[in-house]
Structures are given as C-alpha cells and as structure tokens.
Structure 1
Amino acid sequence: MADALISVLLEQLAKIAAQEAEKEIRLVVGVKKEVEKLKNKLQTVKAVLNDAEKRQVKEEAVKLWLEKLKDACYEMDDVVDEWNTAVIKLNIQKEEENAADITPVLKKKVCSFIPSPSCCFLQADKLDMRRDIAHKIKEINGKLNEIVTEKSTYGFELTRGPTLEEIERQKTTSFVDVSEICGRDKVSNYLVSILLGNCSEEERNFHVISLVGMGGIGKTTLAQLVYNNRVVQAYFDIKMWVCVSDPFDQCKVAIEILESIERQSPNMISFQILLEKICDKVRGKKFFLVLDDVWTDDHTKWEQLKNALKCGSHSSRIIVTTRKSKVAEMMESAKTVNLEVLSNEDCWLLFSKIAFFDRDVEQRRQLEDLGRQIVEKCKGLPLAAKTLGSLMRFKRSREEWKSILDNNLWEFEDVEKNLYAPLLLSYYDLSSPLRRCFSFCAVFPKDYVYSCDELVFIWMAQGYIKSKENMEIEIIARDYFENLAMRSFFQDFEKDKNDGKIKKCKMHDIVHDFALLMSKNECFTINSNIGLETDYKTTRHLQLEISKEAQFPKSIYSAKNLRTLLFVNESDYMLSTLFQHFRCLRILTLDCKYGGMLKELPDAVENFIHLRYLNLVNYCGDALPETICNLCNLQILNIEIGGTEFRKLPQRMDKLINLRHFNLDMKFDWFYVKFPRRFGRLTSLRTLNYFSVSGKDDNERCKLGELRNLNHLQGTLIINGLGSEVDACEAEKAQLKNKIGLHTLVLWFEEWDDEEIIREKDVLVLNALEPPPNLEYLKIGCYKGPTIFSNSIMSLTNLKKLDINFLCLEHLPPLGKLPFLESFRIECNDRLKKVGVEFMGIEGSKKEEKDDIIITVFPNLKSLIFFNLIEWEEWNGIGGEEEDCIRFTIMPHLQELSIGECLKLKSLPNFLRTTPLQELNMNNCTILKERYKRGIGEDWPKISHIPNIIIDYKYVQRDGQEL
C-alpha cells in the first residue's frame, strides 16, 4: 500500500514544482530544492518497497519501518493537499474579482467565508502561510531522510515480482481421502454428469469446465473428488493432473501433461516439440485433464496448448480451478461453477471430524456448544473449518476453546499461517492501488452490504484510483471493483436487472478478517462500549457507532490523523466537538438513520479542508451552512433528507468546483428545494439526481438554463418547478438533448390551484426540452397540456418505461412503434375519452408492397397501467383500419394489465385475446366489473383465458383456477 501512496505523492510533488514556477504562488526561497529532495528520496524508497512488503510478514523490524514510512507519507500528503487547496481557493477568488455579476457587497461576504489558509494569499499574512507550508515540507524531509538512512540496514533488494516467497504455494496432486470431504455430493454428481456427457448440450470441441471461488473454498478438493470417481476413471482413456499455479509457464505445464501420460519426465525442452508430442499422445482419445490453480488470464499463453489438445476426442474434458472469473472467460469455459460455501451442518461435520478425533463421547459433549459457535466463524469456508479443527484438536479445556471463540482469528499463529496463506497469494497478486482499495473495506463491519457506487466514490475520495488520460476516473474505479469481484474478494452479488452490473455485495467474514489483518492499526470498527481506553493514534479509517445511552469514547480524539469517519449516531451528540478534531478527514459520513435526527451541520465543517466525500443520512435541518461552500476539494455530496424542513441550498455552491456527484435523496420526486444562482458553473458534475427551478420573486433565482453546460451528467435527473416562470426559450437553453449520459428523466411541472385548466404553455416547454436520445425511463408529472411530445416521442428509440400523470391529455401519444418500450403508466387524467389507433402509432398505415405485411405494435410492452382516467369511455383495437394486405401483431409480450378508478370505461379491446397476458387487475371500474363478472358477465369469455384475474383487489381467478 505504501507503493501506491508514494506514486500519488510523486505526481502531486511534480504539480507543486510546476505551480511554484508561477510568481504569484511561489513558495519561500529554497523550498523548491526541498521538494526535489523529497521526490528523490521517495523514488529511492519506492525501488525497494516490494521487497519490504514481502519481508514485513515475518520481520517485525521491517514492518515497523514500513509503518514509519507510511506515517511520513500520510503527513506529506496532507501538506501537499493543503498547498493545492490554497492554490484552488486563490483561483476561485481571482475569478470572483473578475466576475461582473458579483457585487462589491457579495465580494465582501464571500471573503468572510474563506478560511485563513487561502485568504492569506490576498492579505498581508500570506507570506506567513507560505512559510508555514515550507517549514512543514522541510520537517517531513528530515523525517524521510532518517527513514531512507535506516533503509540500508535491512539490505532490501530492488523491485521484483509481487509474489511473496515467504508464502509457499503448495503443490497439489490428485490424491485425496474421499471420506474426509463433506457437503459436495450434489455439485460433484453434477460435474460427473457433465464429464460423462450426460447433458443435453452438444459441443463441437471438448468441454472446459471452470470451478471458480475464493481461496480455501474447496475448488481443488472438489476437482480431486471428481478425478478419483471410479466411473470417471473408467470412462476416459487418459487422465492428467497439473498444478499450474503462478506464473503460468507454458513449457512447465506441457512437460507435466506429458509426465502424467508417460509416467516419466520427457527429455526435451522445445515448446514446439512438447506440443507435437502431446498432440500425438491424445490424438483421437478421450482424455480428462485437471488444470489446478490457474491464475493467468492472458489468452495467448493458453491458446497454443489448447490447440494441441484439440487433437483429442470431442468427448474429452478439462476442469480448471481458479479464483478469477476472468480466467474462466479466457478459457472459453462451456460451464462455470461458482463454488458456494458449505452449509452450517456440513461445516460442523468437517470441523468435528478433526477437532474431536480420538476423543470420547463425554469430552465431545462438554465442548460441542463452544465448537458450534466457533464453526459459525467459518461462515461455510472449508479451509477455515479444517484449520480451526486442527487448532482445537489438542486443546482440552473449555477455557482454551472459549479463548479461541472470543478472539480474532489472526491472533493465533497457526490460523494466520494456514488460513490466510491462500488469501495472501490473492492479495499480492493485486496491484498496489487495488490492495489499498481492498484493505480499506475493513473499516465496514462484518455482514455489511457494500454498495458498488459507495465504494467507487470513497476510493476516489481517498485518492486510491490511478488516473488515466482520456478515461473517466469513475470508470477506472468501477474496473477496480470488478477486478476485486472477479477475484472472489466479494460475494452474494445483487445485480442490476437492466445491464447486469453489480449493485451490491457482501464480503465473506474470513476475507473481512484478512482485510483487517492487512490494515491492522489503520482500520477500526467500534461502538461506544468497545475500546474506551484504546489508543487510536495510528488509526486512519474509523466506523463509530454510538447509541443514545452509550458513553462517548473520547479516546478516539487521539486519532488526529483520521482520514475516514463513518459516524453512526442516534442523536446529534458531540458533533460540534467532533468538528474541532480530525482536520485530515477525506471521508465523512454522519448517519442518524437509527431513530436519531441530524438537525444541523455546524459551521465548523469548513475546518475539513481536505474533505472529498460528505454523506449526510437523515438530515432534518432546513438548510446547509454557507461555510460548506469553502470545501473546494469536495467531490461527492450526498444528502438523505429526513423530513420536510429542508428547503434551500447554500448561496455560493458554485465555489465547489471539484464537485462531481451531488445526490439529494428525497421521499418524493416533487419535493421542492431552492437551488442557488450560478449553480451551472459546476461543470465537473457527473451526478445531479435533482434540480429545482426557483420562482419569480427570488432575486437569486436559479433558472432552468443553468443546466446548459452540465453535459457530463449521467444516470438520473429530476427537474422540479417547470411552472409559470419557465418558457420555451428557457427550456431550450437547458439543452437536455446534449446530456447523452442520462438514462432516467423526471419532469415535474408546477401544480396550480385550478386543476381543470389547460396550459398550452406546458406543451411548448415540454417540446422545447427535447429529452436526451439515450433515455430509458421518462416520467412526467403535473403536466396540463392537451398533447404530449407529438413530434419528438418517436426519437426516444431506447425508451423502456414511460409514466405520465396529472394530465389534461385529449389523445395519447403514438407509443406503439417504440421498439423497446416495456412499461407504460398513465394516471389522473380528466380529459381523455377514447384510446384508439393513435395510441398504437398505426394511424394512416398504408399498403407499400404487393405482398402481405405484418406490423408489430408495442413489440416489447410487458406492463400497461391506466389509473384514475375519470372520463375514459372507449378503448378500441384496430377495427376498420386493418386492410387485407396488412396484418397487425399487438403487444406480443404483454404480461400485466391494470385498470383502476376508470368508472366510465365500457369494455376491453378484442386484441387482448391474442396477447400472452398473465395478470389482469380491474379495481373500482363499475361497468367493467359487471361485464366481466366471472361466469355470468356477458364479456367473461373474452378474458377467461387469463391465468390471474383480480377485481376490486380480490382474486377471482388464480393460476387458472376459480377462487
């Protein structure tokens, strides 16, 4: 991890050198040389870091040396960031001086909010501030000089490969005691079935079957179990077992394959000759090859060997075990088995076979309750059950067993050596930035549900993500997460239904313990009843949970260098005190969701000049303090509104020039929050989930045109307040069509007291907004125009979901030809009387060819909902519009139809008979209820084929059966 920190520092120091060349922000004489010295020393240390990180596992002195190095680097990072912050604030003030629209009164007001570090540039004591930074740089240089001098005493080697030599990679074989394996019968039987060809899938070439899972989950054991199956042994002509490990040596693998076949070592070294020999040996034969512990995902290293093996029979099979799902993809696996953890009972059986070996029934009875609690720590991981079973085997007393139960696993040498060795291999296979990202996860408690977006933003805020030219840092960070996920560091994935990307996940308890081990003394998760007297001087990342009755652990104030504080609090207790400490924070979460309320954010928030990530959960204040606008490094601002009091944002948010993600989480889309003027200057924004247009009486009103230059926006955008003060000209200025990264758009028009009025102006505004072309979900509320998107609706070719309500529509838009529309909902309309061919989008269809043609209407619609259309009387199908040469297929994928509060609707269209409709809801529809009454209604036969029918919230037919 020190390697990644040093790399970031070297980049920052290079920037300081460039800035120092500018006269206005030059440091005091001599500091440029100090910066160069720092760079040289860091480069010297960086060259031996790989060796140092390997040796710290067994050498305590080296570990302490690395701790000193990291402390110095963190301190240096803070100083460099303080300098950069001052430069940013200087540039902001220069822009304010030159801005014609800022009055002298406002300038004075702005300056009062600027904290002393940056204000010093414009005042007489600016030289003192620069001297202060210069002094800190020289002081750190002295500390680093001692560390560099001390380095020579350890005899470090220069940078080499990342694999730890101290961690032995066990050479696996095919031999196993089958009687010792628990809980794998089902998956082993499945694999045997595939190996024997007892499956429906036919492959032109041999099957590659990948077993994927975290270290210690039992991939090799399962492969051994299948390999030794008597039926499998008899079925294949040739059986081969190769432990591949890392690095992937093509010649070594080829030699071991030949050794497995010939039972002797080949006396050849040419890779070409080895492949020719393999091809000859397997030609036309059914072979079974196990490639155990594959790490490389480089396709070129596998390709030639795979081609040689193709000489075998098509019934040949290869099983690959790996920790990386990307390896399974690279091997072009026909089947990928993601190995799951054992059940609690199977884990207990595995543990007890070892722990209670050669013990009598009475000893087992006395220790079983503690044993079962110890097994719960394993969380289904076979290696953990074996390791702990071996540890307990020679411990006789309940006191000894209780000690193991009550302490962290890594505190026991045997456990650390055996259980964490496989995880260390995975850890040191990561790049240095990825190691930092992984170990940071230890700050969250066990069983925590990680949000992918949350991790990505936090890693960004901590500076863990190495930037690349012309690539968004969010994309790089997301790749980091995917990399860790595919290496089995996470599990229990919850994926997005639309794009299949991981949204949430968990971390296995053993992996979490390992992360704690790797971040020892840096990451802590505590509550007020734990560690009251602990010294947290070395703590960098802390999750603190305080209940209402608990005593506040004042010992955490010793964590002066804290960079992350995740504060879960049931009240606003001690906030003002907290804000006087922890000046180095990059991440701050204030979470009062467990019954408490965060009523006010102190003005002292401006003390956190390094802050990049601010997350306020259950915030119940009416506003944010103006001083928050001085956090010029802030990148992510999340506010979860806990009440209805929150009404406005700070006036000078435009100073948050580094803000990339601003999320207002509110209970209702239409909730109104006043946005400040000049908000549109935040051109770095990628996320803006909510935006309000201010009213006409506001001197500092925020216009819709502020969105004009925010073209990097992605995801969801809710726009509220599209009322009397927004005209078509202002709507066009918003340039929504240029925000191609948006996939969800919600437009809320202003509610008027007179709900009957038709507003023609709404039509002009809506058409002028021109939604972005890649939109997938559109919702329109409180719209009072008689038509909707009459011209541009067909341009939304990616639209999947459309919701519209509070309308005066007289005709529905022509949605039938939208190729990907899956859901349409319309509600609260008091003008619509008829739905017909205009809704289908086929009005005016004409014969264009001599042969018959088929037009598909609503080709992907699955859900259709009509609610509270109080004047709706008719719903017609195609009727007379269909000609002899034109045939229509209508809603071929419709699954759900719901009609509620439509008192005047007389009947349903005939085309519903030809749809695959699975559920029909009709609630408070007086006429329909009588016409479609089960068994006796005149139109019941038209819907009787639908499996599930609900009328007035009660099933009348379920799964085709009468209720």
Structure 2
Amino acid sequence: MGGIGKTTLAQLINNDDRVKRRFDLRIWVCVSNDSDFRRLTRAMIESVENSPCDIKELDPLQRRLQEKLSGKKLLLVLDDVWDDYHDKWNSLNDLLRCGAKGSVVVITTRVEIVALKMEPVLCLHMERLSDDDSWHLFERLAFGMRRREEYAHLETIGRAIVKKCGGVPLAIKALGNLMRLKKHEDEWLCVKESEIWDLRQEGSTILPALRLSYINLPPHLKQCFAYCSIFPKDYVMEKDRLITLWMANGFIACKGQMDLHGMGHDIFNELAGRSFFQDVKDDGLGNITCKLHDLIHDLAQSITSHECILIAGNKKMQMSETVRHVAFYGRSLVSAPDDKDLKARSLRSFLVTHVDDNIKPWSEDLHPYFSRQKYLRALAIKVTKLPESICNLKHLRYLDVSGSFIHKLPESTISLQNLQTLILRNCTVLHMLPKDMKDMKNLKYLDITGCEELRCMPAGMGQLTCLQKLSMFIVGKHDGHNIGELNRLNFLGGELRIKNLDNIQGLTEARDANLMGKKNLQSLNLSWQREISSNASMERSEEVLCGLQPHSNLKQLCISGYQGIKFPNWMMDLLLPNLVQISVEECCRCERLPPFGKLQFLKNLRLKSVKGLKYISRDVYGDEEIPFPSLESLTLDSMQSLEAWTNTAGTGRDSFPCLREITVCNCAKLVDLPAIPSVRTLKIKNSSTASLLSVRNFTSLTSLRIEDFCDLTHLPGGMVKNHAVLGRLEIVRLRNLKSLSNQLDNLFALKRLFFIECDELESLPEGLQNLNSLESLHINSCGGLKSLPINGLCGLHSLRRLHVLGCDKLASLSKGVQYLTALEHLYIHGC
C-alpha cells in the first residue's frame, strides 16, 4: 500500500547519525516505474559524485560505479521498486560485490512478489497505524498547540474522520493539515459526510482523503498544485522554477502590494504546509527544493489528465487537442515534433527536461513550430540556434535554453514584451546578449550562470527595475555599462556575481552599486580580473571593495582577485553577521584577515592564494569565548607565505567545536597545525614535510590522506601512532617513499589502505600483519614494488579485497596470500 510510511522509514534510517558513521557511502535512488538499468547505474554514480555523469553506455557506467564503490561500506536505498526482473537485480547485485563487508541494500516496494524475489535477509511489512496512533498524529496536526478544551467539541467528529483514513499516515497528514484551517463544527461535518469517502474508482490508487484535501484547496492553489504533474515522479522541483512557471501560466494573481513572486512564495509554503509537497529542503542560501509523494503525483495527474501530459523515456508522443502543457523527460529530441504529433495548437507549456547534459540540442529550423504555437507561455528547450521568429511568441513569459550551443540571442528577443524569465545557464559559447535588452521591462529573472564567454552587459540594464534575479553582472567602463546600473535594482535576490571590478574608478563609483540596499541577496561573488602593480591601483582596489558593502542579510561571500593590502571596515568589523560560507581567493597582497572566528553561523571557510598572509592567530579568532562555534570545513590552499597557524584558545577544546574536515594544500611554509579534537577528516597535499608531524595530534581522525610529498623518503616517526579510530589511510604520489618501517603497527581500526603512485616503494612493511581490521588494500601504480611481505599478510584475517594495478616489477604474489582466508576479490592488472 502507498502512503503507509515505507519511504519515510527508509529516510529516517538513511539520515540517522549512527548510520552515517557506520557507512562510507549512502546512496538513494528512486526506482519507481522506470527501472532502466543504465539510468539506475548513472543515478548511483551521480549520488556518489554529487554531479552529473556524462557517460552514456552501460559498460563504462558500470566500471565507473565499481571504481567509486570499491572497498567502501555502502548503504544503498532503492525506493519504490515495482519491477521483479530477476536478471536485472542479479546484475546489480554483482556490481555491488565490490563494496566492503557490511554493505547493506534497503528496498521499499508495494509489491510483495518484488520483495520475495530480492531474497532479503529481513522483510518488514509496514502495518497501518493503530486507532490511537492515528488520532495522536491527526490531533497534533489539526490542533497544534491549542488546549484540549478549545477543541473538545470537535473530537468525536475528528475521530470519525480519522477512522475513514484507514490508518494510512499520508492520508491522516493530509486531512490533519486540512482540518487545521477549519474552525467551525459544520465545516468538520461537511468533511466527515462528504460523498468522496464512498466513491471508489476502479483501479485507482488515489486515497479519498487526498481527493478531499485537494477539493478543499482555494482555486489558485488547485491550479498551482495540479501543474506539478508535468514533472516526473520523484523529480526534485526547485521552488523558484515552480513559481516562475506558475507566473508564466497566469496561475498567480496580484494581491494588494505583494508582487507575483511573493504570492508564489506564499502558495508554495501553503501547499507544503498542507502536505502536498514533501522532502522540502533549504540549503541555507535560499535555494529550496521539494518532491511530490507518488500518490500525490497520481492525484495531480488524475486532475490534469486532459490538459497536462508527461512523455518520459522513449514513449511515443500522443497528444489530444485538449492538451495545454507538455513536458519531455529523459528523451533525446533530435528534431521538432511533426504537425501530426501536435494536434494541440494552443499549447501553453512546452518543456524539455534532460536527465544529463549530453542530450543533443535541436538543430533544425524552429520557425514553423513557433508560427504554430503562438499562445505558448513557457518554453524550455536545448538548441543550437534560436530563430528571429521567436518574436512571434508574443505571450511567452518563460524561456529556458540552458546548455544550448547558441552564440547569441536574436535581437528580436526584445520583442517578447511579456517575458518574465530568461534562463541561459551554461550556454558556454554565448558571447552576446541583445543590445536593447533594457526595453524588456517585464523581465524579472535573468540567469546567465556559466556563460563565461560573455564579455559585457547590454547598455542600460539598470532600467530593468523589476529584476529579482541577475546571476552575473560584468562591469564596463562606459556609461550604461558601469557599476551604477545596479543602483536601482533593489529587488535582486539569490546569487549575484560581479565581474571585472577593475573597471570601477573608486569609492564613489562603487557605492553607486547600492549593494546595501539589496536586502534579498543571499550570495555575493566579487571578482577582479587584472593583476595590479602600482600603489595607486592597489589603493583604488581597496576603495572599491570598501564601497561594495552588502546588506547584513548576506549568507555567502566570495572575494576573488582583490589586490588591496587590507580588507575594508565592513569586513573587519563583521557587519555581515549571518554569513554561512566565506571564500577568499587570489588576494595576493592581503596581510591580515578579518576576525572570522566571531561569526556565529559560519560553516565553511576557504582561503586560497592569500599570499601576503603569514600567520593565522588571535586576530582571526577574535575575542569570542568560543571562536568559530559553527565551522565545519576549513580549506587552506596555495597559501605560500603562511608560516604558522596557532590556536590561541589554548588547548583547542574551546575553539572549532564543530570542525570536522581540514584540507591543507600547497602550503610550503606551514610547519604546524593546531590540535583540534573534533576533526575527523584531514587531507594534506604538497606542503611542508614538517606539517606532517602535526598529524599525530589529531587523535580522532577517521580518514587521512597524504598526497604529493615528492621529496619524502620516510614518513615522520610516530605520525599515525596514536590514531585508534583511523579507518581510512591514503598515501598518494609520495614518489620517493622507500619504506614505511613500522608506521602502521598500531592502526587497529584501519579498514581501508591505499598506496597510489609511490614509485620507489619496494615492499610493504611486515607490520602490516597487525592490521586485524583491514578489509581493503589497494596498491596502484607503485612501479618499484617487487614483492608483498609473506609475514605481513599473515595477520590480515579480515581482508576481503586486494587490488594491485600497474606495479611493473611485481613478478609474483607472495606465499602470504594463502593466509588471506577472508579474501573475496583479487584484482591484478598491469603487473
């Protein structure tokens, strides 16, 4: 049964802190009705890499997945499985064997035969909620914090309504959120006695409680919810995209002084509050996503079956004349549909949603198509060229050509006077926007993220005073192109990147940007382009940054290429108290950092090529009792002058209480790292050999990576002597490392050990035999390795996986291999 809580339980397991600590990787894949093995493999890779996978063929996809999973303890959740194709699941099981011992696969399904064919170790049948539990859930949602005497007169009716939900949590949540808005007894009776409870549609999986919840929505909410059926099941919907599509289709009406986006924000929140949206996530920077439960998606599709159509995979296109909204998902539209495919001449939405960036763009002439669909309001498509005839789409309000190979937008685009949203993300060869874009007075969203070939903005962008999103502004030198064009754009929100700040002449001009007046901005990226040599130019750079003070609501700040010696007062005095992420990059002359330790919400700090900085000391910590109270991740990259990082808080127990990960890269003079007990992951790359001595102070490490110490012949004595919980050790490109002596003797918790490109390493230490917990040993491209130690392998009773690749001088395996009684996978290649 759907809505019983299978996915919710799986999510609770997946997100539990104990589970996070136990597994190296956690992968979540929604299978649903599309169990295409290639799609599932790609989805798993993307989950691990947290980025799109551009591999198309199944074999290389499988190899990539095995590389990512090899030797790692994995929790894989396959949610909402319908197919029981035995061979397919056997193939997946074979792929997963490369993981470490203790890996787990969790499957949720409504179909019992699917569960049985998977041959699970444990099969849990989710039961309906008891009457008491059902009432408690409903009561909490419908009455909230109200005192019982305030709703006692509604309890009998409420219990009757709950009884009709049949113990299904999804139905109870929907009704509970609905009844919260109803205060009078006659309204409650109307729901209890509704004929919807008695209607049974043959073959329908839609719960009556969900239909009731929909029927009780206000009309404008009904439209907005139903439109969501245009997306596939389990699709991650972006809040801002939803709102702009609602706006484009006229589903949102102005109310008083509130703008359309503000109304859309309220509609989204109300639908979420009524449980129509689930998995609502906020990244802390204003980017919010959500999904539809599959039963809620079924409801939306049943409502819009004659108006909205979703064509997924390679299904044949069939559209009736009543269709108004069509979306293509995961199919390659190499050409526009023929006229016979588009009987509906009054389409309002035509959206092509790709699963990856390799879908070929339309390359043919789209003029005939645009001449037919003159009532189109929302268009998303990947093309090689937009024709001038796009101006025929007079009603177009939403245009998304992300990832297209277009060099410029046609000048006729400015004729789209109703256009509200223009998305050009990752149009990597786009070098020109229409010169009269200032005339597009209704434009509210312009996203040019990733359009790195753009060299200038059209003149007069400051006239687009309705803009609420402008992802990038390129500062020019001349009137109509300078920073002052931002002055009146005070509704801007989300992310803003300002490039070519070299073209600003001083403090007064910088202040013309009026960044302090842009209270909705969440993220600001300020970047200079040219290397500055003169003192006058450095002073001008300092003046410019001083004049670009943003509003205190800002959460993310990146400063790149700044050539001043000191930071402005608004940074030194911490007038941005809400910052969550800070990145300072390529600031070659800065000698002193602001007191970032005083920022209460700062989670991520990245310092790269701040070449004038010699010390991280008291002035960075500030005078707080607990410096850096929320910091979780710290990166020091290419800090060539940095000599010392001292923990002025003394023992280190009072500073960095939440710091979990430190990365130090290309810091040649840094000789010491302070002991920080909370750190679990440490990566040190191409830095001073002396800095490795600090590793011994990080006794809580679970993962350590040492990389690119080419002059090192031996690891410093006792470097990993006291690491009782270290589970993963990677030694990478220590090209002159000859021996490890007894460095590994005391790593009793070590489970995964990697030696990669250690050219001079001739043998592994005999002390390897003490690694009783070791499960995976990977030796890759160690050209000098001649043998594996006989005694060193004897004690590896837990070793399940041994990989040896590219070790030219390794003539044979030692006799010690016979003692690897737990070995399951032996992979030797290029030896």
What is the letter of the counterpart of residue 602 of structure 1? P
Provide closer, same or farther for how the CA distance between residues 189 and 322 of structure 1 changes in structure 2, counting only shifts above 3 A.
closer
- Judge conservation of contact 1:818–1:858 (CA < 8 Å) in 2: yes
- Judge conservation of contact 2:607–2:635 (CA < 8 Å) in 1: yes
In the alignment, does 2:688 pair up with 1:908? no
Q: How far apart, CA to CA, are the structure 2 residues paired with 1:255 and 1:419?
A: 23
What is the letter of the counterpart of residue 684 of structure 1? C
Displacement after TM superposition at 1:512 (Å): 3.8
In the alignment, does 2:176 pair up with 1:209? no
Q: How far apart, CA to CA, are the structure 2 residues paired with 1:558 and 1:426?
A: 34
Q: How far apart, CA to CA, are the structure 2 residues paired with 1:452 and 1:564?
A: 18
Name 1:292's counterpart in structure 2.
163
In the alignment, does 2:687 pair up with 1:899? no
Q: How far apart, CA to CA, are the structure 2 residues paired with 1:625 and 1:946?
A: 61
Q: How far apart, CA to CA, are the structure 2 residues paired with 1:878 and 1:252?
A: 61
- Judge conservation of contact 2:545–2:568 (CA < 8 Å) in 1: yes
In the alignment, does 2:461 pair up with 1:679? yes
Q: How far apart, CA to CA, are the structure 2 residues paired with 1:558 and 1:293?
A: 43
What is the letter of the counterpart of residue 483 of structure 1? E
What is the letter of the counterpart of residue 686 of structure 2? N
For each residue in 1:875-934, what CA deviation from the matched residue of structure 2 results, as whole angstroms up to 9, or x when unmatched? Answer: 23339xx9xxx999322222222211111111123xx34x42222221111323553466
Displacement after TM superposition at 1:868 (Å): 0.7
Q: How far apart, CA to CA, are the structure 1 residues paired with 2:319 and 2:158?
A: 54
- Judge conservation of contact 2:483–2:513 (CA < 8 Å) in 1: yes
Q: Which secondary structure state, in structure 2, belongs to the residue aligned with residue 552 of structure 1?
A: coil
Q: Which secondary structure state, in structure 2, belongs to the residue aligned with residue 803 of structure 1?
A: strand
Displacement after TM superposition at 1:637 (Å): 1.1
Name 1:917's counterpart in structure 2.
679
What is the letter of the counterpart of residue 430 of structure 2? F
For each residue in 1:695-752, what CA deviation from the matched residue of structure 2 results, as whole angstroms up to 9, or x when unmatched? Answer: x4xx665111111111111121111111144422211110101111112111111133
For each residue in 1:348-370, what CA deviation from the matched residue of structure 2 results, as whole angstroms up to 9, or x when unmatched? Answer: xxxxxxxxxxxxxxxxxxxxxxx
Name 1:607's counterpart in structure 2.
392
Larger CA Rg, structure 1 vs 2 = 1
Name 1:155's counterpart in structure 2.
none
Match of 1:666 among 437, 444, 450: 450
In the alignment, does 2:174 pair up with 1:323? yes
- Judge conservation of contact 2:434–2:458 (CA < 8 Å) in 1: yes
Structure 2 counterparts to residues 445-844 of structure 1, below 5 A: 445-491=232-278, 493-498=279-284, 502-508=288-294, 510-526=295-311, 536-544=320-328, 547=332, 552-567=337-352, 570-590=361-381, 592=382, 598-643=383-428, 645-666=429-450, 672-694=454-476, 696=477, 702-752=481-531, 759-793=538-572, 794-807=574-587, 808-842=589-623
Q: How far apart, CA to CA, are the structure 2 residues paired with 1:945 and 1:764?
A: 52
Name 1:406's counterpart in structure 2.
none
What is the letter of the counterpart of residue 238 of structure 2? S
Q: Which secondary structure state, in structure 2, belongs to the residue aligned with residue 744 of structure 1?
A: strand
- Judge conservation of contact 2:670–2:691 (CA < 8 Å) in 1: no
Match of 2:202 among 414, 424, 427: 414
Higher helix share: 1
Name 1:200's counterpart in structure 2.
none
Q: How far apart, CA to CA, are the structure 2 residues paired with 1:785 and 1:455?
A: 42
For each residue in 1:826-851, what CA deviation from the matched residue of structure 2 results, as whole angstroms up to 9, or x when unmatched? Answer: 01233222222222224xxxxxxxxx
Q: How far apart, CA to CA, are the structure 1 residues paired with 2:565 and 2:464?
A: 36
Displacement after TM superposition at 1:674 (Å): 1.5
What is the letter of the counterpart of residue 928 of structure 1? A
Q: How far apart, CA to CA, are the structure 2 residues paired with 1:527 and 1:186?
A: 31
Structure 2 counterparts to residues 282-431 of structure 1, below 5 A: 291-292=162-163, 321-324=172-175, 326=177, 414-415=202-203, 419=206, 421-431=208-218
What is the letter of the counterpart of residue 538 of structure 2? R
Provide closer, same or farther for how the CA distance between residues 325 and 795 of structure 1 changes in structure 2, counting only shifts above 3 A.
farther
Q: How far apart, CA to CA, are the structure 2 residues paired with 1:867 and 1:456?
A: 39
Match of 2:630 among 842, 857, 860: 860
Provide closer, same or farther for how the CA distance between residues 887 and 804 of structure 1 changes in structure 2, counting only shifts above 3 A.
closer
Q: Which secondary structure state, in structure 2, belongs to the residue aligned with residue 855 of structure 1?
A: coil
What is the letter of the counterpart of residue 797 of structure 1? P
Displacement after TM superposition at 1:603 (Å): 1.0
What is the letter of the counterpart of residue 866 of structure 1? L
Displacement after TM superposition at 1:792 (Å): 3.6
For each residue in 1:571-590, what CA deviation from the matched residue of structure 2 results, as whole angstroms up to 9, or x when unmatched? Answer: 22342221222111111111
- Judge conservation of contact 1:856–1:888 (CA < 8 Å) in 2: no
- Judge conservation of contact 1:799–1:818 (CA < 8 Å) in 2: yes
Q: How far apart, CA to CA, are the structure 2 residues paired with 1:537 and 1:729?
A: 59
For each residue in 1:180-208, what CA deviation from the matched residue of structure 2 results, as whole angstroms up to 9, or x when unmatched? Answer: xx99977659979x97xxxxxxxxxx993
Provide closer, same or farther for how the CA distance between residues 756 and 578 of structure 1 changes in structure 2, counting only shifts above 3 A.
farther
Q: How far apart, CA to CA, are the structure 2 residues paired with 1:518 and 1:207?
A: 29
What is the letter of the counterpart of residue 292 of structure 1? K
Moved more, 828-837 or 894-903: 828-837
Q: How far apart, CA to CA, are the structure 2 residues paired with 1:321 and 1:683?
A: 45
- Judge conservation of contact 1:922–1:950 (CA < 8 Å) in 2: no
- Judge conservation of contact 2:673–2:691 (CA < 8 Å) in 1: no
Q: How far apart, CA to CA, are the structure 1 residues paired with 2:630 and 2:612?
A: 28
The alignment-based identity, stated in percent, is 27
Displacement after TM superposition at 1:617 (Å): 2.0
Displacement after TM superposition at 1:803 (Å): 0.3
In the alignment, does 2:656 pair up with 1:876? no
What is the letter of the counterpart of residue 783 of structure 1? Y
Displacement after TM superposition at 1:656 (Å): 1.3
Provide closer, same or farther for how the CA distance between residues 623 and 767 of structure 1 changes in structure 2, counting only shifts above 3 A.
same
Displacement after TM superposition at 1:867 (Å): 0.7
Name 1:272's counterpart in structure 2.
none
Q: How far apart, CA to CA, are the structure 2 residues paired with 1:810 and 1:947?
A: 36
Q: Which secondary structure state, in structure 2, belongs to the residue aligned with residue 665 of structure 1?
A: coil
Q: How far apart, CA to CA, are the structure 2 residues paired with 1:486 and 1:190?
A: 22
What is the letter of the counterpart of residue 686 of structure 1? Q
Displacement after TM superposition at 1:939 (Å): 8.2
- Judge conservation of contact 2:435–2:459 (CA < 8 Å) in 1: yes
Displacement after TM superposition at 1:325 (Å): 5.8
Structure 1: segments with no counterpart, 5+ residues: 1-181, 196-205, 214-247, 258-288, 296-317, 332-386, 388-409, 593-597, 843-853
Q: How far apart, CA to CA, are the structure 1 residues paired with 2:309 and 2:372?
A: 17
Match of 1:442 among 229, 239, 243: 229
Structure 2: segments with no counterpart, 5+ residues: 1-115, 117-121, 142-149, 183-197, 354-359, 698-714, 734-742, 754-831
Provide closer, same or farther for how the CA distance between residues 939 and 477 of structure 1 changes in structure 2, counting only shifts above 3 A.
same
Q: How far apart, CA to CA, are the structure 2 residues paired with 1:507 and 1:838?
A: 50
Q: TM-score, normalised by structure 2?
A: 0.60
What is the letter of the counterpart of residue 607 of structure 2? I
What is the letter of the counterpart of residue 251 of structure 2? Y
Q: How far apart, CA to CA, are the structure 2 residues paired with 1:512 and 1:934?
A: 54
Provide closer, same or farther for how the CA distance between residues 908 and 554 of structure 1 changes in structure 2, counting only shifts above 3 A.
same
Provide closer, same or farther for how the CA distance between residues 482 and 324 of structure 1 changes in structure 2, counting only shifts above 3 A.
farther
Displacement after TM superposition at 1:754 (Å): 7.3
What is the letter of the counterpart of residue 611 of structure 2? D
- Judge conservation of contact 1:680–1:709 (CA < 8 Å) in 2: yes
Q: How far apart, CA to CA, are the structure 2 residues paired with 1:424 and 1:319?
A: 12
What is the letter of the counterpart of residue 498 of structure 1? G
Q: How far apart, CA to CA, are the structure 2 residues paired with 1:949 and 1:535?
A: 55
Q: Which secondary structure state, in structure 1, belongs to the residue aligned with residue 663 of structure 2?
A: strand
Q: How far apart, CA to CA, are the structure 2 residues paired with 1:804 and 1:425?
A: 53
